[in-house]
Copies of this chain bind each other. A is one copy, B any other.
């Protein structure tokens, strides 16, 4: 077992067997992008690839055994992440069919709907997830599409009242979906009960639009050519009453509405919460794409020479500036992988439970939103930097990075704009996960800002004893430069920053208590950048803790040592990026702050000899990177 094998085992985490099998099995399928195909052909190809995935067992893993699945949520997420290492179009297409569409049917539907799941698994029913509208993306609660109950026929009438209510950017909608999971305001007896989900057949057996349904094609995009995004409008489309996915809201034959959750907002966010796997998969897949790009750029840096003293040319990887571009991103990919795996394991535990803990579910939702934001931004940045680190060669499709760049771009928007995602995390932190605050309405948030948020920050899980022990054991402050290399010091800096940022944001928002709506909004808006920062520093802390916990679990001492050095680079470069804050808030003296850059550079030197090992540890086999220039012996 080599050192890189040991690293890979650590990063592979609990669903290592899924990763190992996917590496082999997906490599056997022909998944490399073919840019010569026109748009229609590219979509057909991806759709056919989707069919090849059915026998891998990944699609079935996402569903409970009693519904015809194999009941392994962690495998479902891991399988999607592995697809992302091969082709992002296929990953998205699979995510739409089995994650979003199938997930809505399983989680929002009841027995009658669960009977559809075997058809969904084997693609006898192809679906799309018709949530976003032209006028409403991140703010799903304000969707305009209506589903009005007509007791005379016992049908819902699904309707798009305005142009801005057109469902848009919907994957699978332009070509392949026969059925849509449509999110619409449920209206019965003249009263609206908020957004619910309905199954609507949108195409007949010939692929033609059903009466009253009009689909349109979003056509070319910045990437993801294999995904047929499209638009759907409904003109008084009638569907049977039973097509309401009725786990959280039911309308009886006579039109009486009932729900296990009284509050409309709370009900809606409970529904959304059950769909959490989408967010987790998007973040994890983006991370996987970053692993591919960094593997390509990292291997190129170990091959390409440029300039150098007296005729001898120097490897790119030996230049300080190049190390600065590459290694902190690699360290970050490691850090996020540990955090992502931890999150997947928690999700898996909760989703296997028949009585999931409500508080843990809320925490997971907050964390999933925040990690989605941070991981997708990381991926955009890492793929971009990888492209630039490969120069002109990085721009050629044959070297793959430019395709990744186009495909990954929209992940920052999937599941909601990243700033909105961070604001969602912040809301949970600032209101102490108050059950009353479902939505993202700023006023709701302002109203419930907790008096003190200390407990939220100090919230501790099983990992906590380890973290607390490290924090307690840190060297006693002082101006000794080297304590910045101490994990306890780093953990304490991250935790302390989070607590301060959240507490000061809370104080600003508390000023809005009692203000009228306009003034309260003004106060909230004036602090919005501060609020969003709460989410960001919270995730930074969670990630460092997850990395620390991951190292503790690593059984190979040599691998654990190397992981420790990588973790130190992650911690120091994260501190360096926010150095002004640590200085301005007297967490680091000017003298100590000045050493941070030196310490980062020292860490680059320490890690440089292990660069190839670190790349190999990411677990993207060289043969599956699909970059022509790595094959050349030029």
Contact = CB atoms under 8 A, between A and B. Distances in A.
Contacts of A146: none
B584 A163 contact: no
A318 interface: yes
A132 to B, nearest CB: 6
Interface in A306-327: 306-310, 313-314, 318-321, 324-325
A50 to B, nearest CB: 21
Contacts of A583: 580, 583-584, 590, 593
A383 to B, nearest CB: 11
Contact of A634 (B162, B308, B318, B401): B162
A633 B412 CA distance: 27
A310 B519 CA distance: 12
Contact of A306 (B139, B319, B632): B139
Contacts of A442: 307-309
Interface stretch (A18-26, A239-247, A525-533): A525-533
A375 to B, nearest CB: 15
B320 A221 contact: no
Nearest to A531: B321
Nearest to A590: B584
A321 B397 contact: no
A222 B402 contact: yes
Interface string A515-542: 0011011000111110010000000000
Interface stretch (A76-84, A413-421, A550-558, A615-623): A413-421
A220 B395 CA distance: 9
Contacts of A529: 320-321, 324, 601
Contacts of A440: 307
Contact of A601 (B134, B443, B526): B526
Contact of A220 (B134, B397, B417, B526): B397
A168 B398 CA distance: 13
A120 interface: no
Nearest to A380: B384
A518 B412 contact: no
Contact of A528 (B166, B319, B579): B319
Interface string A33-70: 00110110000000000000000000000000000000
Given A163-B634, A395-B221, A593-B580, A320 B526 contact: yes
Nearest to A593: B584
Contact of A221 (B306, B396, B579, B594): B396
A318 B275 CA distance: 31
Interface in A386-422: 387-388, 391-398, 401-403, 405-406, 409-410, 412-413, 417-419
A262 interface: no
B528 A313 contact: no
Contacts of A594: 584
Contact of A397 (B136, B222, B601): B222
Interface string A494-525: 00000000000000000000000110110001
A10 to B, nearest CB: 30
Nearest to A322: B419
A384 to B, nearest CB: 7
Nearest to A594: B584
A169 interface: yes
Contacts of A135: 304-305, 634
Contacts of A132: 392
Interface of A: 35-36, 38-39, 132, 134-139, 142, 162-164, 166, 168-169, 218-223, 229, 304-310, 313-314, 318-321, 324-325, 380, 384, 387-388, 391-398, 401-403, 405-406, 409-410, 412-413, 417-419, 423, 440-443, 517-518, 520-521, 525-529, 532, 579-580, 583-584, 586, 590, 593-594, 601, 632-634
